Chains A and B, each alone.
Chain A
Amino acid sequence: MTRTATTSTTTGSGSGEPLLSVRDLSVTFGRGRRAFAAVDQVSFDVRPGQTVGLVGESGCGKSVTSLAIMGLLPARGNTVTGEVMFDGQDLLRLSQEQLRERRGSELAMIFQDPLSSLNPVVPLGVQVAEVLQAHKGMKSGPASRKATELLNKVGIPDPTRRLKEYPHQLSGGMRQRALIAMALACEPRLLIADEPTTALDVTIQAQILALLRELVTESGTALIMITHDLGVVAGLCDQVNVLYGGKVVERAERHDLFSRPRHPYTGGLLASIPRLTEERGRRLNPVPGSVADNIPWEGGCAFAPRCASEVEACRSTTPELEPDRDGLGPDRLLRCHHPLEENPLDDIRTHQPEDTEGGPA
C-alpha cells in the first residue's frame, strides 16, 4: 500500500511479476460472536496470461473471494481485511469511484447465470456499447460499431441484428458469449470468471471454455476461473487453488493436482467424477457429508468430520498451508496433517483409471 500507482509497467510473459497479488484476504460477515469468516486468509498470485483456478464446493468462499477482489461486496455487514495488490495498488483501499473506473477497463467479471446477468429491458447493443461509453468516452455511433466487432469476435453470428435484440431472444450460449464480449470490451488485464459454464449445456460449455482459452492466450489476459467443476479446471487452468471452508487447502499446477492430489478433499473431488471407463452400475463416489458439517478452523481442520484419513491432530491443531513435505516441488502447498499417499485415486476407487487427467471436459 505504500507503493503508489506505477502506470502499467509492461509485464511481459506469464512468468513475470504477478499482475494480481492477493495476500491474507479475509472476508467476515457479521460482528462479534456471530461473525463468520467466509474467506479466511486466502493468498494467491495471478500473472499476466496465467489462468488460476479457485475450486471448491458451494459455500467454500470462492465467489466471495472474487467479489471482494472486485470490490462488489455490499457496503455494510462485512469486513474485508488483507491486501489485493493489482498493478501496484491495493484495490481494497481505493474509493468506490476509483474502483469503478478500473472495473470493466482493467478488471472484468463474468457471472454464472447469463440470463439474469443481462438487463432484460435493454437491447443487447445498448448494454455492450454502455461499457465502451463508460470507459472510453466513445460516442454511441463508434461504440455500436465496436460492439458489432466484439460480438463477431466472440462468435455471435449476424451481430448487427443481435445488437437490436433483447436478452430473452438469445440462446443461453449466445448470452454468455455476449457477456464475455462485454467483459472484454475494454481489453481488461484481469478477467474473473465465476462459474461461467454452470448454467449452460455441456456442448455449449465446451464452446465457451474454448472461447475463453483462445481469448486469454491471444491477449495475454490473466484469468481467475472460479468453478466447482474439475473438468473445467483440467481444460483451462494453469494453477489450481482448492478452497475449503474459506481457506486454501491445496495449491498445485494443474497436472500435478490431477496426477497426485495430496489433500483428502481434493482426492474426494477427483474421485467423485464419473468416468466412462468405469464398469456399469457402479455407484458414484461423493465426498461424504456437506459444508454444514464443518467445524471451525480454530483448533482443528474444518474438513476433519468428513475426512477418511483423519488423524488425532486434525481435531486439535489447525493445519498450516506449507510446502509439501514429500518434496513435490516448491509450488505445491498443502494444508493437511495427514495427506494422501501415492496414487490416491486407486485407494479410493480400486479401479484403475485410464486417464488421470480426464474429467467431463
Chain B
Amino acid sequence: MTDTHDTSSTTTGDDTGHGRRRSALAALGDRKKERIDSLAEAGSLSSAEGVSLWQSAWRRLRRDPVFLVGLGIVTVFVLIAAIAPWLAPHDPAARLLIGQVSPATPIPPAQEGFPLGGDNAGRDTLSRLLVGSRQTLIVGVMATLGGLAGGMVLGTIAGGIGGWADSLVMRIVDVMLSIPSLLMAFSIAALFARPSQWTVIAAIAIIQVPIFARLLRGSMISQRHSDHVLAARALGVRPAAIVFRHMLPNSLGPVIVQGTLVLAVSIIDAAALSFLGLGSQDDSVPEWGQMLGRAQVFFNSYPHVAVYPALCIIVVALGFTLMGESLREALDPKSRR
C-alpha cells in the first residue's frame, strides 16, 4: 500500500533520510484533523518514525523555557537530595556552634565555615537545609505515589465498572473533596498517637486520593464512549481487557500531569504539617517545614532563620508547578498552536 497522497504537503526538514520517514509522513498526512498542527511542525517531525502524543508533547516542551526552568529546578533538587550527606559541610545533627548560643543571642550568625549561620541548637543551617531536601523529596514522592495508587484503584472501579460502583465510589470521593484538604490532612495526621514522617505521608496521600480518583474516573468515562472502545466491544473483547488495555492506558495522561502538580502541593502541605508540629518530632533529622516551625519563635529578631527553609520550599514547589503546568499545556490538544 503506497499512500502517496499528501506527502508533498509536508516539507522536508533535515537529516536521516531513511525509508521509514516516508511512510511516517504519509501516515501523518492522513490525519485530517491534525493536519494543520502537524504541518506547522513538519520540519521537526521529519526525522522521526512517527509521532505519538507524548513525542509531540516532548518536542513542544523542549523549546518551552517555562518547562526548562521547572525541569532545571527539579533536577538540581533531586541531585542535591541524592548526594546531600556528601555535600553537607557538617553533620546536620552536630551542635558545633553551641558555644555561641546564649539567651541573649540564640542564633549564631554566619561565619567562616558556616555561611548561613547556625540554629538555636548550634547546628549548621546550610547542612540542615541540604540534608532536609531528602525528607522533602521522600514526603513529596511517597505521598504523591500513595495518592496516585489509591486514586487509580478508586477511579478504575468507578470508571471501569460504572453503575452502582461508580455512584458509591464517587459519593465517597465527593464527601472527601467537600472537606478542605489541608484541614483533613491535619485531622488525619492528628489521629496518629506518635506523629512521624510517615503519618505526614499517609495524611497527604489520603487527601490526594479523591483528586486522582475523580480525574481518572472522568477520563475513563470519556474513553468508554470513544470509538476504539466501541470497536473493541464490537469485537467481543472481554470487559476486563477493555478496562485495563483500552480505557486505563488512554486515561493516564491527565493523571500523570496531575501527579507532577500534586508533588508541589504535597511538599507544601508536608511543610505545613511539620510547621504545626504534626510531623516528625525528632529534630535530629532536619526537615524544611519543621525548621520553619522552629524558626517562628525567633522570627522578629532573626528573620533569616525562617527565610532559608521557606525559600527552599517555595523554589522546589515552584519547580514542580512550572514543570507540571507546562506538561499539562503541552499534552492538552486544545492549547496547541
Q: B250 an interface residue at 8 Å Cβ cutoff? A: yes
Residue of A nearest to B224 (CB): A74
Q: B236 an interface residue at 8 Å Cβ cutoff? A: yes
Contacts of A103 in B (CB 8 A): 233-236
Contacts of A155 in B (CB 8 A): 1
Inter-subunit contact A72/B236 (CB<8 Å): no
Report how many residues on chain B are interfacial, defined by Cβ distance under 8 Å: 33
Q: B5 an interface residue at 8 Å Cβ cutoff? A: yes
Q: A134–B51 Cα gap in the complex (Å)?
A: 30
Q: A238 an interface residue at 8 Å Cβ cutoff? A: no
- Within B225-245, the residues touching A (CB, 8 Å) are 226-228, 230-239, 241, 245
Decide yes or no: A169 and B231 within 8 Å by CB, A122-B245, A122-B249 being known contacts.
no
Residue of B nearest to A101 (CB): B236
A242 CB to closest chain B CB, in angstroms?
Answer: 25
A103 CB to closest chain B CB, in angstroms?
Answer: 4
Q: B31 an interface residue at 8 Å Cβ cutoff? A: yes
Q: B50 an interface residue at 8 Å Cβ cutoff? A: yes
Inter-subunit contact A130/B1 (CB<8 Å): no
Residue of B nearest to A192 (CB): B234
Contacts of B31 in A (CB 8 A): 115, 168
Contacts of A183 in B (CB 8 A): 235
**Interface 9-mer from B21-29, B172-180, B199-207, B314-322:** B21-29
Question: Which of these, B1, B50, B226, B239, contacts A169 with CB under 8 Å?
Answer: B50
Contacts of B53 in A (CB 8 A): 120
Contacts of B37 in A (CB 8 A): none
Q: A234 an interface residue at 8 Å Cβ cutoff? A: no
Contacts of A70 in B (CB 8 A): 234
Q: A64 an interface residue at 8 Å Cβ cutoff? A: no
Contacts of B236 in A (CB 8 A): 100-105, 131, 134-135
Decide yes or no: A134 and B237 within 8 Å by CB, A116-B227, A120-B250, A165-B50 being known contacts.
yes
Most central of A182, A185, A207 by chain B CB within 10 Å: A182
Decide yes or no: A166 and B1 within 8 Å by CB, A72-B233, A117-B227, A118-B231 being known contacts.
no
Q: A347 an interface residue at 8 Å Cβ cutoff? A: no
Inter-subunit contact B231/A111 (CB<8 Å): yes
Q: A173–B1 Cα gap in the complex (Å)?
A: 8
Kindly supply a per-residue 1/0 record for chain A positions 135-163, scoring 1 wherever the CB is within 8 Å of any chain B CB and 0 otherwise. Answer: 10000000000000000000111000000
A115 CB to closest chain B CB, in angstroms?
Answer: 7
Q: A172–B24 Cα gap in the complex (Å)?
A: 12
Most central of B30, B32, B49, B246 by chain A CB within 10 Å: B30
A153 CB to closest chain B CB, in angstroms?
Answer: 14
Inter-subunit contact B30/A172 (CB<8 Å): yes
Q: A177 an interface residue at 8 Å Cβ cutoff? A: yes
Inter-subunit contact A171/B52 (CB<8 Å): no
Inter-subunit contact B237/A171 (CB<8 Å): no
Q: A108 an interface residue at 8 Å Cβ cutoff? A: yes
Q: A257–B228 Cα gap in the complex (Å)?
A: 35
Residue of A nearest to B247 (CB): A119
Question: Which of these, B49, B231, B238, B245, contacts A100 with CB under 8 Å?
Answer: B238
Q: A157–B49 Cα gap in the complex (Å)?
A: 17
- Within B1-29, the residues touching A (CB, 8 Å) are 1, 3, 5, 23-24, 26-27
Most central of B228, B239, B250 by chain A CB within 10 Å: B228
Q: A122–B228 Cα gap in the complex (Å)?
A: 11
Q: A156–B3 Cα gap in the complex (Å)?
A: 12
Inter-subunit contact A108/B26 (CB<8 Å): no
Inter-subunit contact B27/A104 (CB<8 Å): no
Inter-subunit contact B245/A119 (CB<8 Å): yes
Q: A53–B49 Cα gap in the complex (Å)?
A: 39
Inter-subunit contact B23/A130 (CB<8 Å): no
Q: A304 an interface residue at 8 Å Cβ cutoff? A: no
Q: A209–B228 Cα gap in the complex (Å)?
A: 22
A354 CB to closest chain B CB, in angstroms?
Answer: 29
Question: Which of these, A118, A156, A171, contacts B27 with CB under 8 Å?
Answer: A171
Most central of B23, B31, B235, B249 by chain A CB within 10 Å: B235
Q: A311–B89 Cα gap in the complex (Å)?
A: 99
Most central of A118, A165, A171 by chain B CB within 10 Å: A171
Question: Which of these, B50, B237, B245, B250, contacts A104 with CB under 8 Å?
Answer: B237
Kindly supply a per-residue 1/0 record for chain B positions 47-59, scoring 1 wherever the CB is within 8 Å of any chain A CB and 0 otherwise. Answer: 0011111000000
- Within B92-142, the residues touching A (CB, 8 Å) are none
Inter-subunit contact B27/A169 (CB<8 Å): yes
- Within A231-256, the residues touching B (CB, 8 Å) are none
Contacts of A130 in B (CB 8 A): 232, 235, 237, 241, 245
Contacts of A120 in B (CB 8 A): 52-53, 228, 250
Contacts of A320 in B (CB 8 A): none
Kindly supply a per-residue 1/0 record for chain B positions 38-67, scoring 1 wherever the CB is within 8 Å of any chain A CB and 0 otherwise. Answer: 000000000001111100000000000000
Most central of A70, A134, A169 by chain B CB within 10 Å: A169
Q: A169–B1 Cα gap in the complex (Å)?
A: 13
Question: Which of these, B24, B26, B49, B226, contacts A116 with CB under 8 Å?
Answer: B226
Kindly supply a per-residue 1/0 record for chain A positions 250-268, scoring 1 wherever the CB is within 8 Å of any chain B CB and 0 otherwise. Answer: 0000000000000000000
B162 CB to closest chain A CB, in angstroms?
Answer: 9
Decide yes or no: A168 and B235 within 8 Å by CB, A121-B250, A130-B241 being known contacts.
no
Inter-subunit contact B250/A169 (CB<8 Å): no
B220 CB to closest chain A CB, in angstroms?
Answer: 14
A222 CB to closest chain B CB, in angstroms?
Answer: 16
Q: A118–B231 Cα gap in the complex (Å)?
A: 8
Inter-subunit contact A156/B235 (CB<8 Å): no
Can you list 21 A-B pairs, Cβ within 8 angstroms, ordered by A?
A: A100-B233, A100-B238, A101-B236, A103-B236, A104-B234, A109-B235, A111-B227, A111-B231, A116-B226, A118-B228, A119-B228, A122-B246, A131-B235, A131-B236, A131-B237, A134-B236, A135-B236, A155-B1, A169-B50, A171-B23, A171-B27
Listed from nearest, the 6 A-B pairs whose CB atoms lie closest are A104-B236, A103-B236, A169-B50, A116-B227, A104-B235, A171-B3
Interface contacts beyond A100-B233, A117-B230, A127-B232: sample of 16 additional A-B pairs, CB < 8 Å, sorted by A: A102-B236, A103-B235, A104-B235, A104-B237, A105-B236, A108-B234, A111-B227, A118-B228, A118-B231, A120-B52, A120-B228, A134-B238, A134-B241, A169-B49, A169-B50, A207-B1
